[in-house]
Amino acid sequence: MKANRSLTITSLGIAQTLAWASSYYLPAMLATSMARDLGISTPTVFLGFSLALVVSALLGPLAGKLIDRYGGRPVLAATSFVFAAGLAGLAMAQGPIGMMIAWAVLGVAMAAGLYEAAFAALVHLYGKDARGAITGITLFAGFASTVGWPLSAWLELEWGWRAACGVWAGLHLIVALPLNLLLPASPVTPAVQATPAADPATDITRAPASTQHPQRTAVLLAFVFAVTWFISTAMAAHLPRLLQVQGVPLATALLFAGLVGPAQVAGRLLEYGLLRNVHPLLSARVAGAMHTLGAMVFLAIGVPGGAVFTVLHGAGNGVLTIAKGTLPLVLFGVKDYGVRQGLLMVPARFAQALSPWLFGLALDSFGAGALWFSAALGALAFAALMALRDKAAGRP
């Protein structure tokens, strides 16, 4: 049983790495050459990416509902074909309309093929014991940018951006599809269904008694997820530039920015090890404060604080990624997890779509002062986490 669980985590983790690398991290490396060949501006390519995020936001609840009903294997396997179709569409696009249609198809795949769907698949399989598995797949996918950016850049340099998209499409069919098919089939009695003889005191399919105000809890969680995804996407798009406007030289800024990925993985390893027996709400509160704390250090002491800022931001973001899967589980229970997760992430997807543009405007208008904006948002997310209540986590 343990071996099967390890196989599930490994196969899904590798498939998630490929999915993130070929969608979320794709335009950073290919947008410039794609825009040049299609005769459009680079922002127009990123507008297509934003369209994909909006589509994924709208379809996320439906994807979660399908996983709740049928399990993760058929849904995630189907997304391998949709990812391949979207990437092939990008490779064959001859103008902005074809490109936008291809990004919309990729948005469908992202709705049912990234973390939220994977988390729902694991909860469907393991119920309340899914926390460790959720952490495990994020450890793999934490290296998506580490793998995706260099591979996309190399493919573009050697054969062009169209070939790069084609290779990613092929990898979804050759690698990701078999890995997603390795997921266990839905159990005969799924974790999302209650057994007639279940003790109401221990029935994990019921919303935990500590969630006395489910609507309030859902609003707070949706707000936290939206703010943290806004910050994460803003930093992914603008971190080197942000460091430079604060006075960090270009070479040093790139070095500091490179610390984010390892810090994310380190935070997830900490969650997997020392914090695995700590209530997810407590670890989320600590992680939620890290971006703001790092920003204050950076603003206070300047260039030397840049490394502190990037490490704290990365570590906090790594733990918060896991919290997006575990907090709805512990606060609401297993029943209808997939559709609830999809609904909670709708504001986050819209925030993510707007983030590069809005934070870019803040950088243009205020320079290093834009960091006060993200720090304030981080403080609001921390306050919302402190306002959440769960008896097992204690009161703030």
Domains of the chain listed by start with CATH number: 2-181 (1.20.1250.20), 214-387 (1.20.1250.20)
pLDDT of 365 = 84
Query: How far is residue 67's CA from residue 40's CA, in Å, rounded to a whole number?
Result: 38
pLDDT of 198 = 39
pLDDT of 367 = 84
pLDDT of 142 = 75
- Alpha-carbon Rg for the chain in angstroms: 20
- What does pTM read for this prediction? 0.75
| DSSP annotation string for 164-230 | HHHHHHHHIIIIIHHHHHTSPPPPSS-TTS--TT--TTT-TTSPPTT-S-HHHHHHHHHHHHHHHHH
DSSP state of 248: -
- Which residues in the chain come in under a pLDDT of 70? 1-3, 186-212, 272-276, 390-396
Query: How far is residue 15's CA from residue 18's CA, in Å, rounded to a whole number?
Result: 5
Helices (H), the chain: 2-21, 27-38, 42-70, 72-92, 96-113, 115-126, 131-141, 144-159, 161-171, 177-181, 214-245, 250-257, 260-272, 280-288, 290-301, 305-332, 337-344, 346-366, 370-387
pLDDT of 223 = 94
Q: Which amino acid is at 366?
A: F
pLDDT of 202 = 35
| The two three-digit tokens of residue 209, written as one number | 């008694």
